[in-house]
Chain A
Amino acid sequence: MPKSKLDPLPAAAFQILLSISDEDRHGYGIMRQVAEQTAGRTRLGPGTLYSTIQNLLEAGFIEEVPPPKGTKPIDERRRYYRLTSAGRRIARSESERLADLLRVARQKKIFRGEYV
């Protein structure tokens, strides 16, 4: 059986899921949100962004939705994406996995300083 492109969940896919967890966004909006939530460290290129979006759509983790009400006319031709309940579950499970890793890292005293 061919391996799923989203197993394990790639970082780009996880970032995209997080970026639309609070509101529907179009491609450029997702790119900007990902840059914002990673403090500018991750800028998704168009190929990565849209091929990941395609994989997420195929897996049913996100869905395409009409533009939100009150969208500027200029943004109406864009495709907007929304997190599905399956997508929210996978994002939660990935977050928990990372939280577990973080817990182990703390136990192993990988971090220095008080911020953790």
Chain B
Amino acid sequence: MSEKLYAILFLLYPRHFREQYGEEVMQLFRDRSRDEVGLLLGSRLWIDLLCDLVAWHIRHLCSTRVVAASSPRISVVGPNFLIPDHRAPRIPCMLLAAVFSGAMFGVVAFAFRQHGTNQSFGLGLTTLVSPTLVQPSEIGAASTPLRQSAFSKVGRIGVPGHSAVRQQLSSRALGPGPVVGQRYLDSTERQKIIQAVIRAVKAHYYDRKVAQQIADELHVSQKNSRFEQAVTGPGFAMALTNQIRHASHEKHLEVVYSSEVLPNGPREPTPGMLVRMREDLEQNNCTFEQVKILPHNIGYFKLNGFPPLSICRSKAVAAMASLNTVDALIFDLRDNRGGSGEMVSLLAGYLFDHPEFLFDPRSNPTLQSWTQPIPGNRLADKPTYVLTSNLTISAAEQFVYDLKALKRVTVVGETTHGSAHAAIFYRLDDHFGIAIPRLRAINPFSNEDWEGTGITPDVKTNASDALLRTENLAKRKLQK
């Protein structure tokens, strides 16, 4: 909630600044929110942010005045905010103006929301507020369609070096793009894109009935010239996204504009990349940071990813074997960025002496959806705890969600990140693409999964205190 609030506040910074540093600023906010908890520190954080916003604007207003004075013949197309007066505006005036601007912004935003318009504000909120709507790893990696292959799965577990590639791809393929050189769309181009969207949705969206509804609404909108005002690429993409989400109530559908030409063919991982991924994983001990036995014979396994079984099975088996004789077990997923569902099944298998079904929202049930009993395993009846933070994401959340639903573990820490679904990216033309969820898996535990909401822990505590708290819980349990 507070992150969304700050994302809205962040809109008061200029667009170029948001585009360049939006992700970093939101990360910084998340870091500070995580570290500065409590009434006093929390209030200080918000006071800092508000002061920074005001100070930033005052500073830049002053520097704008200098530029205006030194460049009298500056040529500006469209509205500008240079100040012709040689005196700086008074602070009370500026504060008053800020309050009025905020109020006006609120009224306009409310009015647009109430009327369900499909017009775009061009605020870049998609990436700020909800970075998981379409995951860059799924989108940036390939095209026509960009498959959710090993390539994207690697991205999730955060192998060093690979994330740099992912970042490069995502910023290249999806970056908001510079305003300079932005192309404007005429009605023929817009029609072409709309037709491509309809074709893609009909061909790939898992619910044909809803796909038809989307197509019908787009036809009506096109007929009523509802997209006439959306002349820029990002604006048109956002207008289309709003329209298809309105028709389908599916928030994972998204039309994306790229200022650079999208790649033509599928970008599958090359053998070289796979070799590097293997080397990276081996160097990083398959992201298994710590395996140790704590006092009172409590096993502790900190894993920062669920790496592919093909590479890390032996390390995972060895880690679990070293914990086979403990009296209680802690899985620390506070820094876990997800990865392979197969690894989730393998590790979960140690907690049962019979096959158990594990739900994965990204795939239909398969053989891997069932845990396999492990010969010689002695952990099936041991009390088990899972530590979470608000950074615990994706496959790590699958692990938590399933074991919590099966009442096999006690979850201690913070509500998890809330990223369950994934979409596949399809190229529409050189600059437009669309993310479409391919399927909806049946959830045996409830109607919903953890997308957008995260998984609430059984014992809520700060991530930094979770281990100590869990050790005490386990100790008390063992002493009973």
Taking Cβ atoms with an 8 Å cutoff, the residues of A that contact B are 1-3, 5, 27-28, 31, 43-51, 54, 66-67, 69, 71-74, 76-79
Report if B443 contacts A (CB, 8 A).
Answer: no
Contact between B56 and A51, CB atoms less than 8 A apart: yes
Shortest CB–CB separation between residue B273 and chain A, in angstroms?
A: 16
A74 interface neighbour in B25, B32, B158, B167, Cβ under 8 Å: B158
CB-CB nearest in chain B for A28: B31
B27 interface neighbour in A28, A51, A54, A73, Cβ under 8 Å: A28
Contact with A along B158-177 (1 / 0, CB 8 A): 11100110010000000000
Report if B287 contacts A (CB, 8 A).
Answer: yes
**Chain B residues within 8 Å of A67, by CB:** 160, 164
CA distance A83 to B335 in the complex (A): 29
CA distance A47 to B391 in the complex (A): 24
Majority DSSP secondary structure for residues of A touching B: loop
* Residue contacts A-B, CB under 8 angstroms, 9 given: A5-B63, A28-B28, A31-B32, A50-B25, A51-B60, A67-B164, A73-B160, A74-B391, A77-B167
CA distance A48 to B25 in the complex (A): 11
Shortest CB–CB separation between residue A77 and chain B, in angstroms?
A: 6
Report if B337 contacts A (CB, 8 A).
Answer: yes
CB-CB nearest in chain A for B57: A47
For chains A and B in complex, what number of residue pairs have CB atoms within 8 angstroms?
Answer: 88
Report if B270 contacts A (CB, 8 A).
Answer: no
CB-CB nearest in chain A for B284: A73
Contact between A47 and B55, CB atoms less than 8 A apart: yes
Contact between A46 and B49, CB atoms less than 8 A apart: yes
Contact between B160 and A76, CB atoms less than 8 A apart: yes
CA distance A110 to B244 in the complex (A): 69
CA distance A27 to B32 in the complex (A): 11
CA distance A67 to B167 in the complex (A): 12
CB-CB nearest in chain B for A10: B59
CA distance A112 to B287 in the complex (A): 55
**Chain B residues within 8 Å of A5, by CB:** 63
A73 interface neighbour in B24, B48, B60, B157, Cβ under 8 Å: B157
Shortest CB–CB separation between residue B135 and chain A, in angstroms?
A: 12
Shortest CB–CB separation between residue B289 and chain A, in angstroms?
A: 8
Given A28-B27, A47-B13, A51-B17, A77–B163 Cβ distance below 8 Å? yes
CA distance A51 to B189 in the complex (A): 37
Contact between A73 and B287, CB atoms less than 8 A apart: yes
In residues 258-284 of chain B, which contact A (Cβ within 8 Å)?
A: 284
Contact between A46 and B25, CB atoms less than 8 A apart: yes
Given contacts A48-B52, A54-B20, 17 further A-B contacts (CB under 8 A): A2-B66, A5-B63, A27-B28, A28-B27, A28-B28, A31-B28, A45-B53, A46-B24, A46-B28, A50-B25, A51-B17, A51-B60, A71-B160, A73-B160, A73-B163, A73-B335, A76-B160
Contact between A45 and B160, CB atoms less than 8 A apart: no
Shortest CB–CB separation between residue B444 and chain A, in angstroms?
A: 31
A2 interface neighbour in B21, B31, B56, B67, Cβ under 8 Å: B67
Given A49-B28, A76-B160, A54–B167 Cβ distance below 8 Å? no
**Chain A residues within 8 Å of B335, by CB:** 72-74
In residues 350-380 of chain B, which contact A (Cβ within 8 Å)?
A: none
CA distance A79 to B164 in the complex (A): 10
